[in-house]
Amino acid sequence: MKFFADTSDIDEIKDLADYGLLDGVTTNPSIIAKSGREFIPLIKEICEICDGPVSAEVASTDYATMRKEAEVLRKIADNVAIKVPLTPAGLKTCKELSDDGTMVNVTLCFSAGQALLAAKAGAAFISPFVGRLDDISYQGLDLIADILTIYDNYPQYDTEVLVASVRNPMHIIESAKMGAHVMTAPPKVIKQLYNHPLTDKGLAAFVEDWKKTGQSIL
Ligand code: G3P
């Protein structure tokens, strides 16, 4: 499973890279607004840190302007993935960009039907938002299962399922059990995967017992 960081925080991105946990980065207009940074230079800086796909989302909602914005964004770096919303205009943009060899991440996906449309439009990634479905009492992970079932029936589709809106480690684990290709999460959630009380307890016991030997490896 590829791990993408759902953040634009440079320090967080560098930190994940240092631990070998950074396969890509996803941003969206809300993440960019929260950063307080200029969009284009920030994406450029992220692309200099991360070799994997870096999602930069168009800001407009009409096809003509999306196409123009995509032309600007894809010039930032070769590993920029253009993020478009799952709308008719977004998928028309996706089809043209993907036909031209540009990576497209189709976002704001909440149904299997939408994911089928994105695959037919040649999306490199589909981003189903599991957390936001959970937030309204739907089983977000059921959508992941449905999309993977559909995509498995059509090997001609190259679209990778990029599990998004990840709220906790169980979203990551359950998606991985289903074979989702990618997940994107805030670095804090990714790091929660390390945590287990028995690991902490066992390590404390090892340290304590090693002290009793009076030895040193160095
Ligand atoms: O960036 C796409 C997605 O991960 C957003 O997640 O937490 O805003 O629902 P969230």
Concatenated DSSP letters for 20-58?
Answer: T--SEEE--HHHHHHHTS-HHHHHHHHHHH--S-EEEE-
Q: Give the gyration radius of the chain's Cα atoms.
A: 20
Tell me, what's the pLDDT at 158?
96
Instruction: Give the count of alpha carbons within 13 A of 97, CB side only.
Output: 33
Q: What is the rounded distance in angstroms from the CA atom of residue 3 to the CA atom of residue 127? A: 13
Tell me, what's the pLDDT at 179?
98
Domain ranges for the chain = 2-213
Structurally, at CATH architecture level, domain 2-213 sits in Alpha-Beta Barrel (3.20)
Largest CA distance in the chain: 72
Please list, in sequence order, all residues whose beta carbon lies within 8 angstroms of the beta carbon of residue 125, skipping any fewer than 6 positions away: 53, 55, 81, 103, 104, 105, 106, 159, 160, 161, 162, 182
Tell me, what's the pLDDT at 67?
98
Q: What is the rounded distance in angstroms from the CA atom of residue 62 to the CA atom of residue 180? A: 30
Q: What is the rounded distance in angstroms from the CA atom of residue 6 to the CA atom of residue 165? A: 9
For ligand 1, which residues put their CB under 6 angstroms from it? 6, 26, 28, 127, 129, 131-132, 164-165, 184
Residue 129 DSSP symbol? B
Residue whose CB lies within 8 A of the most ligand 1 atoms, among 3, 165, 184, for a mutation test: 165
Tell me, what's the pLDDT at 26?
98
Tell me, what's the pLDDT at 156?
96
Tell me, what's the pLDDT at 7?
98
Tell me, what's the pLDDT at 101?
96
Residue segments in the chain with a per-residue pLDDT below the cut of 70: none
- Look up 83 and say whether it is catalytic: yes
Tell me, what's the pLDDT at 45?
98
Torsion of CA 131, 137, 139, 141, to 10 degrees: 0
* Listed residue (159, 124, 123, 164) closest to 141, CA to CA: 164
Residue whose CB lies within 8 A of the most ligand 1 atoms, among 55, 106, 126, 129, for a mutation test: 129
